[in-house]
Structure 1
Amino acid sequence: MFLCVSVQLMKPMVEKRRRDRINQSIAQLKQLLGTQLQNERANCKLEKADILESTVSYLQHNPELAADCQTPNPLQDYKAGYSRCLQKTLHFLSLPETRTPGVRNLLQALQGAG
């Protein structure tokens, strides 16, 4: 019973923090895109949606920024990430403190998957 009341009391506080983070991020976007936003909407009060739309538009029209966000070969990146993850897992499992019969069996199976 106490847990339910506690969760109900926490929910509004968590939601307020979430909204505050969103508002802070939008305010930062507005500052970063200052002149861009002023040019697009001269004498209007900017709504959050306007700021987000302008941000998307700005990022889409700047090829050097867009290039940073796009992966030239997603499959190759996926395989490289998978391989790195597998290597780190194998390294962790080979540490002396993780050596148990079950871990040894898992290690052998993973080494065959690499």
Structure 2
Amino acid sequence: MGEKNLDLATLQTLSSELGRERWRVLSDAAQVVANYLVCHPRVEAVRYPGLKTDPDFPRAANELVGGFGPYVRYLAAGEWHLWEADERDPRDQVMELERALGT
């Protein structure tokens, strides 16, 4: 799994550092990516605090403002990966992941 510490306190700090607008853009892109990965046949598990199925969702929904952050962790082929969403169109990011997952 990625080396970044992804606890909610770290995400709150990152939110402050990025500013409201950039945080929202990155969070929105990550939400799209996470929802895509949940449905992907080669992905075994997804961790993103913006997913209602994520164990951190209840706390994240109360503690994070304006989104859930840019980091999505996913398990594919028995290995955890960390995706960091960026400002590109979320569809482009999904297509990049689709190519990486080899389907």
**Hey, which of these two has a bigger chunk of helix by percent?**
1
Asked if these proteins are the same fold (TM beyond 0.5), I'd say no
**Hey, which of these two has a bigger chunk of strand by percent?**
2
Give the TM-score of the pair, scaled to structure 1. Answer: 0.29
Give the TM-score of the pair, scaled to structure 2. Answer: 0.32
Larger radius of gyration: 1
Higher relative contact order (CA 8 A, sep 6+): 2
